Amino acid sequence: MPLVSMRQLLDEAAKGGYGVGAFNVNDMEQIQAIMMAAKQTKSPVIVQASRGARAFAEDLYLFKLIQAAAELNPDIPIAMHQDHGNSFETCRSAIALGYTSVMMDGSLKEDGKTPSTFDENVDVTRRVVDYAHERGVTVEGEIGVLGGVEDGHGAGGSGLEHITDPDQAVEFAERTGVDALAIAIGTSHGAYKFNKKPDGSVLKMDVLIAIHKRLPYTHLVMHGSSSVPKELQDIVNKYGGSLKPTWGVPVEEIQLGIRNGVRKVNVDTDNRLAITGAIRKVFAETPEKFDPRDYMKPAREAMAKVVSERMTEFGQAGHAGDYTPIPISKMAEDYKSGKLDTRPSVAAH
């Protein structure tokens, strides 16, 4: 099956009332882990690559691996997404490669660190939407700023500094026409999100619910959605790691989000922890081993287990065969005719 439009995946998820995990990849084993889980749970899936991942894997290696995944798994709808694009050029180059979806993260300036102004964000996102929709490609925007820094990307801070303002979210959706919108509700990237189990003072699910009520036709995206399970932290630490005690986003909060318009759920850190724990275990228990397959295989299996759990918890499991993929060229026509217009002033009619 060719790569599928992320917009179609999310529209179907909205119809079915479930969420779709968007899992970050950097290499073959991570892609294989996701496909193992998708096959096992019969899930549609979003695979995403950050700018750092594209640089690490030299773009073409990564994209060809995704194409191999699509060819080997004809029954699984796969959307390939640029995570946290920092500029028009990053999104353009992803579309040129064949990505079916891009995130234009205009909440930060092109340096990936400094919060931008609202108008700067609208301008660059609108340009990407025009360019991408003409080619049938989905666009995710971001309003509000997440906390934390990953691979140099992020404004830092706790995640509470730039919570999304619902009025701005509505204006942003109206002025840009994005298909999906990432909002800031107190989560951050990486392992250190909260110093205890989060409650409403630090994880603003009420803001998410308010935004969904006002933007029912825009798919909401939760970034920084790793749950950072204690079991995974413990494995890393047991075999020589030194993670400090930390809390992630409880799965039940993500499920509350899914009941309130969240359709895309970004997870990277949990998979990183699973891989690292599995590799550390092999190194610690069998230091005589040096064949990479001896540790990459358990690492891949550990990641597949986490992904498959999330697919079940987010509700995407069992939905791979629900629909026939719409060709990207048809998506372009539907954007042109206005059929896929999500702007609040238009979508309600």
For ligand G3H, the binding residues (CB under 6 A) are: 24, 50, 52-53, 83-84, 150-151, 153, 189, 268
Give the list of residues 6+ apart from residue 279 with CB closer than 8 angstroms, or none: 295, 296, 298, 299
Q: Which stretch binds ligand 13P (CB under 6 A): 221-229, 253-261, 283-291, 303-311?
A: 221-229
Amino acid at 200: G
* Binding-site partner at residue 151 among ligand G3H, ligand 13P, Zn ion, none, CB < 5 to 8 Å by type: ligand G3H
Q: How many other CB atoms sit within 10 Å of the CB of residue 201?
A: 8
* Shortest reach from residue 189's CB to Zn ion, in Å: 6
Separation of alpha carbons 249 and 253, rounded Å? 7
List the one residue from 226, 233, 316, 342 that touches ligand 13P (CB under 6 A): 226
Do 166 and 127 meet the contact criterion of CB atoms below 8 Å apart?
A: no
Among 7, 81, 126, 189, binds ligand 13P (CB under 6 A): 189
- Asked if 223 is part of the footprint of Zn ion (rule: CB under 5 A), the reply reads yes
Cα 9 from Cα 102, distance rounded (Å): 14
- 267 makes contact, choosing from ligand G3H, ligand 13P, Zn ion, none, with CB < 5 to 8 Å by partner type, with ligand 13P
Phi–psi pair at 341, nearest 5 degrees: -65, 120
DSSP string spanning 203-258? Answer: S-HHHHHHHHHH-TTSEEEE-S-----HHHHHHHHHTT--PPP-B---HHHHHHHH
Binding mask 259-278 for ligand 13P (x = CB under 6 A): -------xxxx---------
Query: Exactly one of 144, 224, 257, 277 binds ligand 13P (CB under 6 A); which one?
Result: 224
By CB under 6 A, the residues from 66 to 95 that bind ligand 13P are 83-84
Catalytic residue status for 75: no
Question: Quick check: 190 binds ligand 13P (CB under 6 A)?
Answer: yes
3-class DSSP state of 108? strand
Judged by beta carbon, residue 203 or residue 332, the one nearer ligand 13P is 203
Beta bridge partners of 20: 264
List 11, 27, 83, 294, catalytic entry: 83
**Nearest distance from residue 22's CB to ligand 13P, in Å?**
7
Site for Zn ion, residues 230 to 269, rule: CB under 5 A: 266
Please give the distance of CA 288 from its chain centroid, rounded to a whole number. Answer: 38
Query: How many CA atoms lie less than 13 Å away from 188 in the CB half-sphere?
Result: 24
